[in-house]
Amino acid sequence: MKCSLVTGGSRGIGRAISIKMAEMGYYVLVNYKTNKEEANKTLEFIKQNGGDGELLPFDVSSKDQIQQSLGGWIETNAEKYIEVLVNNAGINEDCLMLFMKDEQWENVIKSNLDSFFYVTRLVLNGMLFKRYGRIINIVSLSGQKGVVGQTNYSAAKAGVIGATKALAQEVGRHGITVNAVAPGLIKTDMTEGLDEEKNEKADTSETVGIT
């Protein structure tokens, strides 16, 4: 069975991606951290549209939880194969660097950059075995242009963009594509309260990687 794993799939962009992947015929693994109620709503939407999937809870900022939950799922589901990975989960903790606390830096780097490494490395082995896979990283224009008050977030997303380009070259010859999509301003819980007019000029989408 071909599966799609969407991290941060309980709400916002992750929910929309999960529903779309189900419409494309994939068995969707909906990852979430704590909000099981919203994750269940995503799964309900998937099933209402004739799709199928399951919840896969783990904190993307914790390599131990990733190994235990995702690694355990891979080991016990030999008949299933994660063909599409969407690294969507992430957080922002905006603050001017002068006043930024250690944990604000560390939390954002772990949730946005470290998560890409630990999740993708686990899934990549199955893709290499099948000689086919699709890895999509949801990044941000902040990682391309930089944004005041987002030194941590800009650094993390820029890191994912660079890693996307490097990994694409490593695995492209094995039938695996790696791309990063940088959406413009989209109304979600994460962007609530942002000044839309201020971000209007940045409201574009770009894709990087090798297809």
pLDDT digits (tens, 9 = 90+) for 107-116: 999 999 999 9
Q: How confident is the model at residue 184 (pLDDT cuts 50, 70, 90)?
A: confident
The DSSP string of the chain is -EEEEETTTTSHHHHHHHHHHHHTTPEEEEEESS-HHHHHHHHHHHHHTT-EEEEEE--TT-HHHIIIIIIHHHHH-TT-EEEEEEE---------GGG--HHHHHHHHIIIIIHHHHHHHHHHHHHHHHT-EEEEEE--THHHH--TT-HHHHHHHHHHHHHHHHHHHHHGGGTEEEEEEE-----STTTTT--TTTTGGG---EEEEE-
Instruction: State the catalytic residue, choosing from 26, 27, 118, 153.
Output: 153
Mean pLDDT computed over 53-64: 98
pTM: 0.88
Residue 196 in this model has a pLDDT that exceeds 80: no
Considering the chain, what percentage of its residues have pLDDT values greater than 70? 88
Please confirm, yes or no, whether 81 is among the known catalytic residues. Answer: no
Lowest mean pLDDT among 3-17, 138-152, 196-210: 196-210
Enter the CATH code of domain 2-210.
Answer: 3.40.50.720
**For the chain, what are the domain ranges?**
2-210
Tell whether the model's pLDDT for residue 42 goes beyond 70. Answer: yes
